[in-house]
Amino acid sequence: MTEELEVERGDIRDNGRRPPRAVVGSHRIEEEMFGRVFDRNILMRIWDFVRPYKRQLLISVLAVLVFTGTQLAIPLIIRQAIDDGLTGDAAGQGALTGAMIAFALAIGLNYGAAWLQESVVGKTAEDVLFDIRTAMFGHLQDVSLSFMDKTEVGRLMSRLQGDVNAMQEFLETSVLSVGDIVLLFGIVISMLWLNVQLGLLTLCVLPVLFLVRVIWLPRARVAFMAAHEANSVTNGALAEAIHGVRTVQSMDRQPVNFDLYTDKAMATLRAHRTASKYAQVMIPIVDSLTGIAMAVVVVVGGSMVLDQRLEVGVMVAFLFYIQRFFDPIRSLTMQYSVMQRAMASGQRLIDVLDVRVDIKDAPGAVDLPHDMDGAVEFRNVTFGYAPDTPVLKNVSFTVNPGETVALVGPTGSGKSSAMSLLNRFYDVQEGQVLVGGQDVRDVTQASIGREIAMVLQEPYLFSGTLMENIRYNKTDATEKDVIAAAKAVGAHEFIIALPFGYETVMGERGGTLSLGQRQLISFARALVADARILVLDEATASIDSYTEMLIQKALVTLLTGRTGLVIAHRLATIRDADKIIVLQAGEVLEQGNHDQLMAENGLYARLYSVNYASFDDLPETGIDAGETGAT
């Protein structure tokens, strides 16, 4: 389990931020796995989110102190009423009346302070968590794709949700811990002030509690955090199964997945049972110690009352204090576990917030003008997801304004990687990628997103209406613009046939629509975006011939007046391109239009001549000129 967690945390922490650390010794392993009980750096980072709410925090602390003060005052008021108010004379009547008024005021203050503290702390904690969630969401929107490539999204989301909840628990209880500490010391001082001998006798049970705590706490610490991590693993598996439900059902994996999930759920159940056992064991122990302390006060205090060495009111006050004495101890013990979980959760949240954003706008970056010519140039580009394993090797080609250029080649030749560089999802290791004559590293990412529209092989529709999906990249587009775009790409007819037309709400990833319909929606989205450059990544793959015919017609409309880059495997789809660039093993093998490549009689011509439908059909041994004309 330790190794699993280290790997999980390493996914985030080792993303160019800091090297993996060797964990030496059992204490260090436990610290890495379960988090420190107190980590100043984490608290300072969380304080950055709490700082804007200092006023509310101060009000909460003051309310807690008032609440604690009333709890300490009530036994003293009762003692005063018994010892001074039950004398039967006028002075006693006055003392009893005063005690009743003081008691009513204490109860009123107690209620008011408790209400104020609960309402302010609850609202402030929610506000802080809102700020943390929005900060994390904003950061995750900007993190480099290299981080997302190495991160299991389902596990990440499950863990972050659980960690945020742990921080909420910590924020809501941290203010209460101030009151518990003050209450504990206040009770000790009050008992010693009332009667030193009886106070010291009562405190004799504390060594027993301390011994129990020393034995209990390390085991409870491990049990609580093991339950936390087991819950994270189970939730991650659940999220993955839900996201991949189509694949699961298509492969009839339900029984296998159910067994795998049941194993994880049983491990979580066992971990939570163990944690629950340790959480509950302290309650009877504390209750037993409370009973012992009260018995001591009754026996010893009662004999002192009979000997007239102690007033009755003092003994009654002692009983009230003893009854409350172990409550803050129990609360602080549980808050220790809450703080420990918060330290571990806070570390993971900070690790996400600290993920380095590799792709940033350069100082002085300018916007790509909307009236740019749309030219694209790759100039001696070398790139690899791992620097020592290049995917593209010294690639150079030019796309003139308004041209439609196809990139073809077998799987793994670097076509999609090249388009990722064009969108500046990654930066090149060597060379330049230019758009409109400007290096993409010298222009703003926002303007790249506006001027380069991308249509993927698997179109992604978001939750919301079809109208919202079509104008996803241009939220200020009018309804008229959306309908015109849908008509232009041939999507209008099936949209208006839906129950609510353009206001039809999409399900998970638009699953109620066919793949071809989703692709037409993505075309309409690209048309509404009105970008100068359009990238089509296998946009006509995995669809039937009739839908492909509709999409080909839509492409004519979509590419009119725009620069188009089409990634394709199937040769039949790119014959009419202005230029065809053949990539193999990350290098440009050939380039030219269909007729020019056929005349050169190179790889493209030989594949086309022998009726290979795709570059992925290329035999491992290659095709030589002698095979030309074979069927």
Could you list the beta-strand ranges (E) of 425-490.
Answer: 430-435, 438-439, 452-455, 464-465
Distance CA 580, CA 152 (A): 36
Q: Which residues have a Cβ under 8 Å from the Cβ of 494 and sit 6 or more positions away? A: 517, 520
In a 13 Å sphere around the CA of 155, the CA atoms on its Cβ side amount to: 16
Q: Return all residues near 549 (Cβ < 8 A) that are at least 6 apart.
A: none
Give how far Cα 70 sits from Cα of 57, 106, 180, 290, 587, Å: 20, 5, 13, 21, 79
Eight-state DSSP code of residue 88: S
Q: Give CATH for domain 376-627.
A: 3.40.50.300
Q: How much is the pLDDT for 342?
A: 77
Give the span between the Cα atoms of 625 and 35, in whole angstroms. 65
Q: Where are the domains of the chain?
A: 2-231+276-353, 376-627
Q: Which of 439-448, 545-554, 597-606 has the lowest mean pLDDT?
A: 545-554
Provide the 3-class DSSP secondary structure of residue 122.
helix
Nearest CA to 181 out of 36, 344, 65 is that of 65
Distance CA 199, CA 185 (A): 13
- 626 secondary structure, DSSP code: G
Question: What percent of the chain is predicted at pLDDT more than 70?
Answer: 80
Residue pLDDT, tens place only, 554-606: 777 777 778 888 887 666 667 788 899 988 888 888 888 888 888 888 888 87
Q: Please give the CATH superfamily to which domain 2-231+276-353 belongs.
A: ABC transporter type 1, transmembrane domain (1.20.1560.10)
pLDDT in tens, 287-330: 777 778 778 878 888 888 888 887 888 888 888 888 787 778 77
Q: Is the Cβ–Cβ distance between 156 and 314 less than 8 Å?
A: no
- The pLDDT tens digits of the residues spanning 23-66 come to 333 333 333 334 455 567 777 888 888 888 888 888 888 988 99
For 158, the token pair is: 């499950």
Q: How far apart are CA 407 and CA 123, in angstroms?
A: 55
Q: Where are the beta strands (DSSP E) in 233-326?
A: none
Q: What is the pLDDT of residue 380?
A: 92
| DSSP secondary structure letters along 172-239 | HHHHHHHHHHHHHHHHHHHHHHH-HHHHHHHGGGHHHHHHHHHHHHHHHHHHHHHHHHHHHHHHHHHH
